Structure 1
């Protein structure tokens, strides 16, 4: 698979340069490259993907609500990117390890995150939102692009261990302008590391459009490093699933890294601290509303006669349950004592750390005396 290298002129033209299996209206589109990776997707699997995306959207809306109510310091919405995250996430094997950015709530969901895992870091209670070993996923990364280097290092470790794991790194279009991402691809290609790079091109790096960063599709950069790539419609959950299966198979078989550019759109703000109305045209937003990834799959399911009230009720109940548990976990969290920040820093007692603890304790005591 290789990307089209025609310059990006506008959104409409851009969307004609992607691989897909579901058209924007939900029509099934034959794709000889991707179809072989979907041969086992039956009706129940389609309904499961639909459920996953709806639950994710509910998780995301609950996160925004909690932040607006002062319960979270920040939240990075993923509305509009459900297909890219659920599709690629459901392709992962249990032994694979993910290195995310800060927006991969859907990937967390596919890895078995618990309701409290989504909010713990954003509430400021713990440095890591969850136990990485339990769900096979590194802590959320705030530094743009840094996780790509971590993934490659992990991938080289996989080679030394001789296992069939794959390291997967998620990042946005803005991260592709960072040195870390390019350096990661150099190392991954040089050492043929089992790494999959997943770029969720949501068209906006905070307030800067992707066209300002690159006049060509981002997937076209990977082959220059010796990494095969595919550019898929990120609002097509089946295309994302198929592309990820291809990339994982490539990396797992010892052929080295692979790269996916999932062309999608961030419907909400960059984070809840952002106001996209200051830099984004409402007409563009409306254009992408008509490409909603959930509505697209629903159109396909309707055509197949698979959607009924029982499925709708079951999915709604599941989404409400997860959101309710997420809120309860958030409100029920107990802030650790200030001095607990020193716990677990070193495996053995450390004189320097003890001195810092004593100094911080004296600083806190000064407030009590006052």
Structure 2
């Protein structure tokens, strides 16, 4: 089996702005040909990491390698990168063609080769025929396509995208995220994508890097990140979640039994413990998490389900699904389901259930 090379390697990157530590020892590998997304809340260090790779800033400590070459202190124009910014950054006085041609002139590409590359880049982003338009004559989505084409036309080793879709409306964002994913696979360029949008990251990425307060919390495929979060922060940041408190009253080879303050007991699969300390004992205070879509509601007959009775407090229709809020012995518990019973109303008592394998536990 052929080993996949790393196009980017960051080792022990520290960065401070004044007294604020924005990167606190980041280690990261970016595989050849993948689309890797840096995801996290504002101030987590994702854009700083991207700027470090681009060469706009230098780390106070640590090493950066691109294609196996040490890049500490190497200026951006010598790193052979393509960059797409949130605000497009197109030259307003230049046509689409001239915007793409600008970078090729800097790279001293001859006119024949330049014309061929521009034609190909515009075909990839589906902008053929608009070469002579100015940015002001284009829609927001078209301007962003031109910005991507301009980054690709120089045939960079790496493509860096810093929140490129955040200025667009929801429908256009969805269309363009699929376009970026398609063209990234078509061109094969290693791509690093920065976003704070979970849906964007989950739908586009080969792997996701979850960051918080200058640290890497978890790296994995979208499925791994969503289904097997390693920390409470990752579980809460990705997707929706329900949380409940309790204490451990029984442990066996298969399940951990947690008793809530009201005396009701819940089962958690023994392997579903998050955090650094995963060794549980009877009496430990814990917090339980479960995704709304993992909660079954209505007649639940599966013998594997942990069953409970709740009271409906709110029902929201979302088009493709229903969002139902319930009162679960003092806790608010959210359920997501595709259909509802017409007899359900606010105040109705209903059965809910979940599998112990769908509940995550973290020690407090």
* TM-score category (smaller protein): under 0.3
Q: Which has the higher contact order (CA 8 A, sep 6+)?
A: 1
TM-score, normalization by structure 2: 0.26
TM-score, normalization by structure 1: 0.26
Higher share of residues assigned strand: 2
| Larger-gyration structure (1/2) | 2
